[in-house]
Amino acid sequence: MDNITIFITIILIIFIFKVISSVLDNPHYKGSAFENNIYNKIIKLIDKNFVYKNIYIKRQNRRLTEIDILAIHTTGIYVFECKNYGGWIFGAGNKKEWLHTYKTGERYRFYSPIFQNQIHINAVKNLLKNYNIPYYSIIVFSDKCELMDVFYDTPNTYIIYENEIKSLMKELLSTQVIINLATLNKINQIIEQNCSKQENNHEQLMQDMAEGLTKCPYCNGSLVKRVNKKNNTVFYGCSNYPKCKYTTNKLREFI
């Protein structure tokens, strides 16, 4: 092998390594891998024919909402919100905004996962309004993060680490049977007929995301880009200020 061939081979190896590293470091890839791991844990406990991952359901306002994982069981309906975060998490059940910090001093505010998952549950409830079923909101954080001051007393809501899924689900699935098998199959059929993947609703999803990401979670006003004159940093504030004083240093997640 001559020197030119060796050189080209080395360049190709470096390029391929960088591409792979870039993909693995991509937040979307990390989030998908995290959700897949949680999904695989759940289908060991619940028949995978009754477990859905990354589905979109219409809310009452006709906008789509994304549900990470939805599981249907004879004991109830389980809605999972997956948070692949590192660092420290601070939040309270009655607060619409939580705090995500790192050792480096970086601080990000994000929409409460309790409120976020309640939107998902309400969308499912709207589909199944003829059924009286218990709903469970399960928010799963990565083992890489640390839940610091996280307080909540919301009924049927659980905020756990990834490694706690198995024990929690075994406990919940051992409770009283509420849904018989015939009803379970009817519910499953309704979910199947009314949920979709991203590729099936691409245009509407893109529109909903564009609108949802720039809306204030408090009053649904528009988020406007502003500059803090004291330190020249960029933040986003509600267009309904001063009636609504919501601010954030990054646009919120799609809910």
Q: Is the model's pLDDT at 254 over the cut of 80?
A: no
Give pLDDT tens digits for 93-130: 888 889 999 988 888 888 899 999 999 999 999 999 99
User: pTM of the entire structure?
Assistant: 0.72
Higher per-residue pLDDT: 116 or 221: 116
pLDDT at 236: 80
Q: Is the model's pLDDT at 22 over the cut of 50?
A: no
pLDDT at 249: 65
State whether 146 and 121 are in the same domain. Answer: yes
State whether 54 and 180 are in the same domain. Answer: yes
Q: If you average pLDDT over residues 168-196, what whole number do you get?
A: 94
State whether 77 and 118 are in the same domain. Answer: yes
Report the percentage of the chain scoring pLDDT > 70: 76
Higher per-residue pLDDT: 252 or 47: 47
State whether 223 and 145 are in the same domain. Answer: no
State whether 28 and 72 are in the same domain. Answer: yes
Give pLDDT tens digits for 66-89: 899 999 999 999 999 999 999 999
Q: If you average pLDDT over residues 131-153, what whole number do you get?
A: 95
Answer whether residue 145 is part of any domain: yes
State whether 144 and 242 are in the same domain. Answer: no
State whether 54 and 153 are in the same domain. Answer: yes
CA distance 91 to 97: 7
Final residue belonging to a domain, choices 155, 175, 200: 200
pLDDT at 23: 37
State whether 177 and 116 are in the same domain. Answer: yes
Q: Is the model's pLDDT at 232 over the cut of 90?
A: no
**Lowest-confidence segment of 73-82, 104-113, 206-215, 223-232 by average pLDDT:** 206-215
Structural domain that includes position 97: 3-200
CA distance 80 to 178: 20
Total domain count, the chain: 2
Average pLDDT of the residues of the chain: 82
Q: Is the model's pLDDT at 252 over the cut of 60?
A: no
State whether 110 and 221 are in the same domain. Answer: no
pLDDT at 20: 40
State whether 187 and 224 are in the same domain. Answer: no
Answer whether residue 99 is part of any domain: yes
State whether 143 and 18 are in the same domain. Answer: yes
Higher per-residue pLDDT: 87 or 234: 87
- SS3 assignment, position 75: coil
Q: If you average pLDDT over residues 200-227, what whole number do you get?
A: 65
Q: If you average pLDDT over residues 149-155, what whole number do you get?
A: 91
Q: Is the model's pLDDT at 62 over the cut of 90?
A: no
Answer whether residue 101 is part of any domain: yes
Beta-sheet strands, E only, within 12-163: 51-58, 64-73, 76-83, 88-92, 97-101, 107-111, 135-141, 146-151, 157-161
Omega cis (within 30) before 242: yes
Contact 189, 167 (CB under 8 A): no
Is residue 231 very low, low, confident or very high in pLDDT (cuts 50, 70, 90)?
Answer: confident
Short-list 126, 114, 42, 49, CA closest to 78? 42
Answer whether residue 75 is part of any domain: yes
Answer whether residue 35 is part of any domain: yes
Q: What are the C-alpha distances in Å from 154 to residues 72, 114, 136, 173?
A: 21, 8, 10, 19
Q: What CATH number corresponds to the domain at position 218?
A: 2.20.25
Answer whether residue 206 is part of any domain: no
